[in-house]
Amino acid sequence: MNLIFFLVNKFFKSIFKNKSSRLPALISLFSIFISIFSIMIVMFVMKGFEIKVQNKILENFPHIIFQSPKNENISKLNELKNILKIDKTVETYGAIIINNEFSIVKIKGKTEVEEINNKKNDSKLPVVILDRNLFFQNRTNTTIEIFIPAPNTLKKIRKIDVFVGGSSNNSCNVPCIFIDYKTSLNILNKSESFYEVLLKNPFNSDITIKEILSIKPELQGKIIDWKSLNSNLFNIMKLERFSLGIFLFFLILISSTTLYSNTVSMIFQKKSDIATLISLGATNKQVVLVFLITNLLIALCGYLLGVILVVLTTYLLINTNLIEILNINLTFYGIEGFPIIFSLEYFFYISFFSLLIIIFATYLPTKNYLGKNIRNLINRNN
Amino acid sequence: MIEIKNLVKNYDNTSIKYSDYKIEKGDFVSIIGPSGSGKSTLIDLIVNFITYSSGNIYIFDKEISQYRRKEKNILMKRLGIMSSNSLLLSDLTVIENIKLPQLIHKNQIEESHMSYLINKLNIENLLLKYPMSLSTGQRQRVLLARAMILKPDILIADEPTSNLDSENTNNLIKCLVNLNHELKTTIIVATHDKVVSNASKRIFQLR
């Protein structure tokens, strides 16, 4: 049997058998376990939150928007592979009164509304569709009043009765109603239209923009995708995640100090064993490796326990209603499922840097005390 | 086999100067002297546990400082050491302690030699015990077995009979004499025990 693995096995077992060395070893083990668990869970929640926000944006907002004259021929753009649908839209701000309550809304002209108008409207009133949130707040009302406080084409405020045709799948960042693009209730200026583009793969929006610009170079400066529109939000989230990650890494640093002191105390406890090994002809390198591996094993046990708990917690949070134990009602926050995701990228980054710190914290004292200075350590006078 | 010339070891406030000695193959030498005369220091110097200030120590006709790292490893295999720096590892059983030099030097142990040592030193019943449960005399015998397990050319022992009662002292001395006779092992013992020095072939007196 190999000397190093034989002694590592013996020393590792004796650490947990011996009362005086068991407690410091357990403190090291658990501090690493807690650090790994905390940093991974927090980063996975942050990543899950970003994904949820991203999905919300992709669900509710167009992936690309561009502005073009009313009669522009855009049929060629439909031939682009990544484009799913192009919608014309016009928009302004107005106000609505429901149950005598007044609120400001965004009014958007959409082509989809025309279809609903033909199918459902028996009242001969112009049809509108409310955004999802607005619809669920006022689902009992079928007619509402709309005020247009400052329309582009009219000098005075108009009041229009409308028929609520249903709810849109989209929700807006401010309450909004969708109206028929063709008629636009005669309140919207349609000389210039916005085009909302939905993509098959929204993550390739920048490539699609390039393709659109190669077909219609005059759109330069008038086209924007969801990434650029929300770049500030994503940058802030990235910054938040990065700074949290940095601060949480201090936990690993702190736990590595316990590992450092544990290694030092083990070296001093085993001083006579070290002297014996050297006197029997063991090399400094062999002794260094024995202590390095033994203490690394303690740290690795902590790391593995942390990883197992992280995987288990992530699985439970994704697949069960565990979070409700904490009395957190997710529907209140308007999200489906707890925002957590097992990110392999983060898992590897955190593992790599944690293990690097752990190895460093164990290597430093072993090299320092058992390297060139080993004779000073084991000298009988010391 | 071992030659000491003009050897001096300086400490902060004092220095120890040794006379010249030559130890031949098959010798049984006792190094005696009062406390502080440098008996244990000489042992530590010979096994290169500490470095000397001036002079020379030749082991197997080569100056000890001239041994390279790998050669030192081979040298340690040829030396059996029983000193206060070489105790039993508390996490290992007696048999594991005895076999430790085999693991360090990756050597095969001759089973007949191991049985001979176990038998001669009367430690058959101790093999699966841990050092904590052994008496001082038993520990000394196990240490001697470990020092002799690789059939070293030279056995160096520092106060092997300290803390032993007269019966255990006599047993240990018998073992040393037997090993010197039967295996032709050169034995160097630092001791203040007259029973040990009387059993040796030559005595080096330190002042």
> Averaged over B144-153, what is the pLDDT?
89
- CB of A58 within 8 A of CB of A226? yes
Determine what percent of chain B is predicted with pLDDT higher than 90: 19
Tokens of A364: 């430093």
B21 to chain A, minimum CA–CA distance in Å?
23
Q: What is the ipTM of this complex?
A: 0.87
- How distant is the Cα of B82 from the closest Cα of chain A, in angstroms? 9
B145 φ, ψ to 5°? Answer: -60, -45
Residues 6+ apart with CB under 8 A from B119: none
Residue A340 contacts B where some CB pair is shorter than 8 Å: no
The pTM of this model reads 0.75
Rg (CA), chain B: 17
Q: Please report the pLDDT score of residue A149 as a whole number.
A: 54
**What are the extents of the domains in chain B?**
2-205
Stretch B34-43: mean pLDDT: 85
Please name every residue paired with B203 in a beta bridge, in sequence order, or none if there are none.
B30
The overall average pLDDT reported for chain A is 82
pLDDT of residue A382: 46
With contacts defined as CB-CB under 8 Å, which chain A residues touch B84? 380
CA A18 to CA A220: how far, in whole Å?
74
Question: Binning pLDDT at 50, 70 and 90, where does residue A6 land?
Answer: very high
Residue position matching structure tokens 């720096």: B85
The CATH homologous superfamily for domain B2-205 is P-loop containing nucleotide triphosphate hydrolases (3.40.50.300)
Residues 6+ apart with CB under 8 A from A299: A28, A29, A32, A259, A358, A361, A362
Q: Pick the residue with more confidence: A146 or A361?
A: A361
Summarised one tens digit per residue, pLDDT across range B89-140 is: 999 999 999 999 999 988 777 888 889 889 888 889 999 999 999 988 889 8
Taking the Cβ of residue B43 and every Cβ of chain A, the question of whether any pair is shorter than 8 Å is answered with: no
**Quick one: average pLDDT of B8-17?**
85
Between chains, do A11 and B92 touch, taking CB under 8 Å as contact? no
pLDDT tens, A23-81?
889 999 999 999 999 999 999 999 998 888 888 888 878 899 888 776 777 788 888 88
Does A339 have pLDDT greater than 80? yes
pLDDT band at A188 (very low <50, low <70, confident <90, very high): low
Q: Quick one: which of A236, A277, A267 has its CA closest to A3? A: A277
| pLDDT, averaged across chain B | 87
CA distance A302 to chain B (A): 23
Other Cβ atoms less than 10 A from the Cβ of B5: the count is: 14
Q: Which of A82, A127, A45 is nearest to A326 (CA)?
A: A45
